[in-house]
Amino acid sequence: MLNIVLFGPPGAGKGTQSERLIEKYGLIHLSTGDMFRMHISNDTELGKQVKQILADGMLVPDSITIDMLEEEVSQHPNAKGFIFDGFPRTVAQAEALDAYLAGKGQQIDMVLQLDVPEETIKERIELRRQSSGRADDDAEKLLKRIDEYFSKTIHVLPYYKDQQKVTTINGVGEIDAISDLLYASIDPHVA
Ligand code: ADP
């Protein structure tokens, strides 16, 4: 098993890099943001519950998020490992994930932090907003999401630093070069 948390602010490149990592290492990509958007577009009960929260750029309550994530993990009993993208976003989520994995005799092996300065994020997100059409990508809501990251999600890092699991990767530069940095961190864990 190889369980990786890919950590970083909105616009850090988690989605792009996740795609490469799942391909190279045969992992399952679990993005809670993608899961919520899927529920919203399918108009499920959960989708109805979280639609406004996403539109406002706020965090979905932990209990809803944790239940959804665990349910999704349980769908892949034979996975070689997972990339958690956009989860955990709070310390409560990190603790729940640790407890859940421990119950299966597993753990988070590494936390790869994509480090991108706030100003760079805002520039990137503005570019993406113009092309993606993602409903939560409007300017004000975007600032809210960045704010949620720097006020809440960032506190997840010390939680994993205490466990000595964090590797910080410079997330500014060529996409390929950043992938190479990620591979160099992961490869020793899959030897
Ligand atoms: P980004 O990283 O670009 O902000 P995501 O796709 O990861 O976007 O998440 C989109 C939205 O989904 C978040 O703004 C939040 O409302 C909700 N969300 C995603 N993951 C979580 C989570 N782990 N806890 C709470 N809310 C979440």
**36 CB under 6 A from ligand 1?**
yes
Reported as a single tens digit per residue, the pLDDT across 14-62 is: 999 999 999 999 999 999 999 999 999 999 999 999 999 999 889 999 9
Reported as a single tens digit per residue, the pLDDT across 102-149 is: 999 999 999 999 999 888 888 887 777 777 766 556 777 888 888 889
Cβ density class 82-115: b for 16+ within 10 Å, e for less: bbbbbbbbbbebbebbbeebeeeebebbbbbbbe
Cα–Cα dist 54/59, whole Å: 7
Residue 134 confidence (pLDDT): 61
Q: How far is the CA of 67 from the centre of ligand 1 (A)?
A: 15
Give the domain extent around 116: 2-189
Which residue's CA lies nearest to atom 9 of ligand 1? 33
User: According to DSSP H, which parts of the chain are helical?
Assistant: 14-25, 32-41, 45-55, 62-74, 91-103, 118-132, 139-151, 156-162, 175-190
Ligand 1 atom closest to residue 149's alpha carbon, by position in its atom list: 4
CATH (domain of 112): 3.40.50.300
Q: How far is the CA of 136 from the centre of ligand 1 (A)?
A: 10
Looking at the 3D structure of the chain, how many domains does it have?
A: 1
**60 CB under 6 A from ligand 1?**
yes
Q: Specify which residues 5 forms β-bridges with.
A: 84, 111
